[in-house]
Amino acid sequence: MASEAGGEHSFAEYISHHLQHLATEKARGLIDFGVIHLDTLFFSILCGLVFLIPFIRAARKATPGVPGRFQTAVEMLVEFVEEQAKGMVHGDLKFIAPLALTVFVWVALMNAIDLIPVDLFPSIAKVFGIEYLRPLPTADLNGTFGLSIAVLLLVFYYNVKVKGIGGFLHQWITAPFGNVKVTANPLTWIAFVLLAVVNIAFTMIEYVGNTFSHGMRLFGNMYAGELIFFLIAGLGGSLTAFGIVMHIFSGAVWAIFHILIVLLQAFIFMMLTLVYIGQAHEHH
C-alpha cells in the first residue's frame, strides 16, 4: 500500500489506486463499450451466488410444517417483499415480486462488501498478480446503472404489456399535459403537434430522470461510503498514535452507520423499482 510510506502525495496515490478497476483495458473517454470491469462483474456474480445458493436450498427444503430458523428468516424476507410488491404494483406479481426480492438481497449483499476492510481484497489480488481491484460493485456506475436501466426496460415492457403498444405510444403524446382533440380546424392540428412534442419531451425527461436518479442514488451513497473508508484507512496508514486511534474509532463509527446505509439503500432501490414498475401498470 502506498500509504505505508506516508506523505500527502502517496496518500492521494493510494486513493486513486483503489479507485482503479480491474478492467480488460484502460477506458478511452467517459463512455467506452470496449472495456469490461472484471472486478465489478466478478463480485456481482459472487454476491448473486451468495444470494441464490442458500435461497434455493431453503426453497427446496421448504416445508409447510414447522420451519427451521434459516427457512423462517428467508420466509420473513419473502413475505416482507411480497407485501411491498402487493402494495406498489397492481397487476401480475409472478415476476415482479421475485425481481424485487432479487434486487433487495443482491444489492444489500453487494453493498455489504463495503464493510469488508478496504485493503483486504486488493491485497489478496496482489498475491495473484492483480494490480487494481475495486470489490464494491455498487460503487461502480456500471453496476448501478446496469440495474436501473434493466428496471427501465422492465418499465417499457410492462407499459406495453398492460396498455398495448398503441396505449403506450398514446401515453407518450398525451401525458403529462393531455392533448387536444383533432378536428377539421387546422388550429387543433398545430396545438396537437405542439402538445405532443412537449409531452414527448416531458415523458423522456421523466424516464431519463427516473433511471438516472435511480442508479445515481445508490452509486453516490456507496461511492461516498467507500471514499470515507479510504480516508479512514489513510488515518491508520499514517502510523501515528493519533492516526491509529482515530482509525479505530472513526472506522468503527462509520462501519456501524454504514450498516444502516447498506440496508437502507438496498431497500430504497427495491422500493423505487417497485414504484416505477407500478407506475407502468397505471393508466393515465
Partner 1 sequence: MNVTATLIFQLIVFFILAWVTMKFIWPPLIAAIDERRQKIAEGLAAAEKGEKSLAEAKSSAQEIIKEAREQANKIVEQANRRSNELIEEARGAAVAEGQRLVAEARQNVELEATRAREQLRKEVAAIAVAGASRLLGREVDAKAHADLLEKLALEIERG
- Determine if 101 is a binding residue for partner 1 (CB under 8 A): yes
E strand segments, 231-271: none
The answer to whether 178 touches 195, Cβ cutoff 8 Å, is yes
State which of residues 122, 135, 137, 251 lies at the interface with partner 1 (CB under 8 A).
137
Nearer to partner 1, 40 or 199 (CB): 40
Stretch that binds partner 1, among 112-120, 142-150, 232-240, 253-261 (CB under 8 A): 142-150
Q: What are phi and psi of 23, to 5 degrees?
A: -115, 160
Using alpha carbons, list the distances in angstroms from residue 194 to 158, 190, 277: 28, 6, 29
Rounded CA gap, 278 and 268, in Å?
Answer: 15
Using alpha carbons, list the distances in angstroms from residue 107 to 101, 141, 263: 10, 14, 9
- Residues in Cβ contact with 24 at an 8 Å cutoff, skipping those fewer than 6 apart: 34, 35, 36, 38
Least distance between partner 1 and beta carbon 254 (Å) = 22
State which of residues 8, 34, 127, 242 lies at the interface with partner 1 (CB under 8 A).
34
Stretch that binds partner 1, among 27-35, 118-126, 172-180, 244-252 (CB under 8 A): 27-35
- Determine if 70 is a binding residue for partner 1 (CB under 8 A): no
Nearer to partner 1, 6 or 98 (CB): 98
- Determine if 75 is a binding residue for partner 1 (CB under 8 A): yes
Would you give the DSSP letter of residue 237?
A: H
- Determine if 64 is a binding residue for partner 1 (CB under 8 A): yes
State which of residues 1, 15, 41, 169 lies at the interface with partner 1 (CB under 8 A).
41
Q: What is the DSSP string of 152-180?
A: HHHHHHHHHHHHHHHHHHHHHHHTTT--P
Least distance between partner 1 and beta carbon 14 (Å) = 18
- Determine if 94 is a binding residue for partner 1 (CB under 8 A): yes
Nearer to partner 1, 99 or 113 (CB): 99
The answer to whether 101 touches 93, Cβ cutoff 8 Å, is no
Q: What are phi and psi of 37, to 5 degrees?
A: -85, 105
User: What is the set of active-site residues?
Assistant: 213, 217, 221
- Residues in Cβ contact with 267 at an 8 Å cutoff, skipping those fewer than 6 apart: 104
Residue span 238-277 as binding mask against partner 1, x where in contact by CB under 8 A, dash where not: ----------------------------------------
Q: How many CA atoms lie within 13 A of 179 on its CB side?
A: 23
Nearer to partner 1, 14 or 145 (CB): 145
Name the residues that contact partner 1, by CB under 8 A: 19, 23, 27, 29-37, 40-41, 44-45, 48, 51-52, 55-56, 58-60, 62-65, 67, 71, 74-75, 78-79, 82, 94-95, 97-99, 101-103, 106, 137, 140-143, 145-147, 149-150, 153
